[in-house]
Amino acid sequence: MSADLSHYLGVFRRHWWVVLAATGLGIGAGAGVTAVLPKVYEANTSVLVQPVDQDTNAQGGRTKGTINLDTEAQLVGSGAVAAKAAELLRTSDSPLDLARSVSVEVPANTTVLVIRYEADTPKGAQAGSHAFAEAYLRNRQETARSGLDQQIKSLAAKIKQLTDGISMLNSKLAASKPGSSQRSNLESLRGNSQSQLNNLTARLNELTTTTVGAGNIISDAREPDEPSSPDGMLTMGTGAMIGLLLGLALAFLRERVDGRLRTAADVRDRARVPVLAALDERTTPHFDDVLQPYGPGGRVFNRLRNEVLASLRPGDQVIVVTGASRGSASTLVAANLAAALARTGSDVVLVGAHLPDSVVEAAPLARMLGVSAIPGLSDLLAGRITLARAMQRTPRIPSLRVITTGGAATAAGLMQSQRLRDTLETLRRQAGYVVIEAPSTNSSADAQSLASLADAAILAVELRRARRAALLDAAEQLHRVGTPLLGAVVLPRLAALRSDEANMPVVTLTPPSPGAERTQPRPDETMVLDTEKTQQLRLPTGNPAAPAPGAIGKVAPSATRERPVDLGGTSAAIRPRLGTDHEATAIIDLKSGASATAPDADSADGAPSDDR
Q: Environment class of residue 266 by beta-carbon count within 10 Å: exposed (0-12), middle (13-18) or buried (19+)?
A: buried
Cβ neighbours of residue 119 closer than 8 Å, sequence gap 6 or more: 40, 41, 43, 101, 125, 127, 128
Pairing of β 102-105 and β 112-119: antiparallel
In this prediction, what percent of the chain has a pLDDT beyond 90? 17
Q: How far is CA 353 from CA 89, 376, 388, 447, 470, in A?
A: 95, 9, 17, 9, 20
- Rounded mean pLDDT of 231-236? 87
> 115 phi and psi, to 5 degrees?
-95, 115
- The alpha helices in 312-435, defined as continuous H runs, are 329-342, 364-369, 377-381, 387-390, 418-430
The pLDDT-based confidence of 129 (bands split at 50, 70, 90) is very high
CA 155 to CA 207: how far, in whole Å?
A: 9
- Does residue 417 carry a pLDDT above 80? no
pLDDT for 592-606, tens place per residue? 333 333 333 333 343
Closest to 447 measured CA to CA, from 330, 277, 312, 315: 330
The C-alpha atoms of residue 175 and residue 191 are separated, in whole angstroms, by 18
What count of residues does the chain have?
Answer: 612
Most confident of 131-135, 553-557, 573-577: 131-135
Q: Name the residue with higher pLDDT: 327 or 6.
A: 327
Look at residue 41 and tell me whether its pLDDT is greater than 90.
Answer: yes
Q: What is the mean pLDDT of residues 185-198?
A: 88
Residue 170 region by backbone torsions, left for phi larger than 0, else alpha for psi between -120 and 50, else beta: alpha
Q: Is 254 helix (H, G, I), strand (E, B) or coil?
A: helix
* 461 residue type, one letter: V
What are the tens digits of pLDDT across the range 76-116?
Answer: 999 999 999 999 999 888 999 999 999 999 998 888 999 99
* Of 378, 329, 371, the residue nearest 353 (C-alpha): 378
Q: In the structure, what pLDDT confidence band is assigned to residue 70 with cuts at 50, 70 and 90?
A: confident
In this model, does residue 432 exceed pLDDT 50?
Answer: yes
What does pTM read for this prediction? 0.51
pLDDT band per the 50, 70, 90 thresholds, residue 141: confident
pLDDT band, residue 536 (cuts 50/70/90): very low
What are the pLDDT digits (tens) for 437-447?
888 887 777 78
Cα separation, 567 vs 524, in Å, equals 26
Picking from 235-249, 270-284, 356-370, 374-388, which range would have the lowest pLDDT averaged per residue? 356-370
| Spatial separation of the C-alpha atoms in residues 540 and 552, rounded to whole Å | 15
Q: What is the secondary structure of 82-150 as a DSSP string?
A: HHHHHHHHT--S-HHHHHHTEEEE--TTSSEEEEEEEESSHHHHHHHHHHHHHHHHHHHHHHHHHHHHH
Position with higher pLDDT, 543 vs 11: 11
CA-nearest of 318, 281, 279 to 301 is 279
Question: Contact at 8 Å (CB) between 127 and 50?
Answer: no
pLDDT, tens digit, 9 for 90 and up, residues 498-517: 444 444 433 333 334 444 44
Name the residue among 563, 558, 533, 532 with its Cα closest to residue 547: 563
Give residue 65's pLDDT.
56
Residue 185 host element (H or E): helix 181-208
Give percent of the chain with pLDDT exceeding 70: 72
CA dist., res. 591 & res. 557, Å (int) = 24
For residue 196, pLDDT over 60 is answered with: yes
Task: Say what the pLDDT of residue 287 is.
Answer: 55
State the pLDDT confidence band at 57, using cuts at 50, 70 and 90: low
Between 317 and 526, the more confident residue is: 317
Residue 134's pLDDT band (cuts 50, 70, 90): very high
Q: Are 490 and 463 in contact (CB under 8 A)?
A: yes
Choose among 442, 507, 505: nearest CA to 476: 442
C-beta separation of 310 from 447 below 8 A: no
**Contact indicator for 284, 270 with CB cutoff of 8 Å:** no
* Residue 580, pLDDT score: 37
pLDDT at residue 443, as a whole number: 74
Q: What is the mean pLDDT of the chain?
A: 75
Helix 232-258 vs helix 16-36: crossing angle, to nearest 10: 150
Return the pLDDT at 608. Answer: 38
Please give the C-alpha separations between residue 590 and each of 505, 508, 567, in angstroms, as whole numbers.
13, 7, 9
Question: In this predicted structure, what is the pLDDT of residue 289?
Answer: 64
C-alpha dihedral, 186 to 189 to 194 to 195, nearest 10°: 150
> Nearest 10 degrees: CA dihedral of 84, 85, 87, 88?
120
In this structure, how many other beta carbons lie within 10 angstroms of the beta carbon of residue 413?
A: 9
DSSP 542: S
Residue range 258-298, pLDDT digits in tens: 677 777 777 887 778 888 888 877 665 555 567 777 777 77
Whether residue 319 is predicted with pLDDT greater than 60 in this model: the reply is yes
Residue 14 CA from chain centroid, whole number: 5
- Is the pLDDT at 333 greater than 80? The verdict is yes
Q: Does the pLDDT at position 4 exceed 50?
A: yes
Amino acid present at 442: N
pLDDT above 90 for 131: yes
The whole-number pLDDT of residue 271 equals: 72
The confidence band for 349, taking pLDDT boundaries of 50, 70 and 90, is: very high
Q: What per-residue confidence (pLDDT) applies to 501? A: 41
> Residue 558 pLDDT > 90, yes or no?
no
64 pLDDT band, cuts 50/70/90, is low
Predicted local confidence at residue 374, as pLDDT: 82
**Residue 102 forms beta bridges with which residues?**
117
Q: Is the previous residue joined to 364 through a cis bond, with omega within 30 degrees of 0?
A: no
Report whether 270 contacts 471 (CB < 8 A): no
For residues 211 and 163, the answer to whether their CB atoms sit within 8 Å is no
Residue 461 vs residue 587, higher pLDDT: 461
Q: Of the ranges 65-79, 493-507, 511-525, which is most confident?
A: 65-79
Q: Is residue 409's pLDDT more than 90? A: no
| pLDDT for 63 | 53
Bridge partners for 578 per DSSP: 584
pLDDT confidence of residue 355: 67
Region 354-383 average pLDDT: 72
Q: Which of 412, 434, 413 is nearest to 423 (CA)?
A: 434
pLDDT band at 538 (very low <50, low <70, confident <90, very high): very low
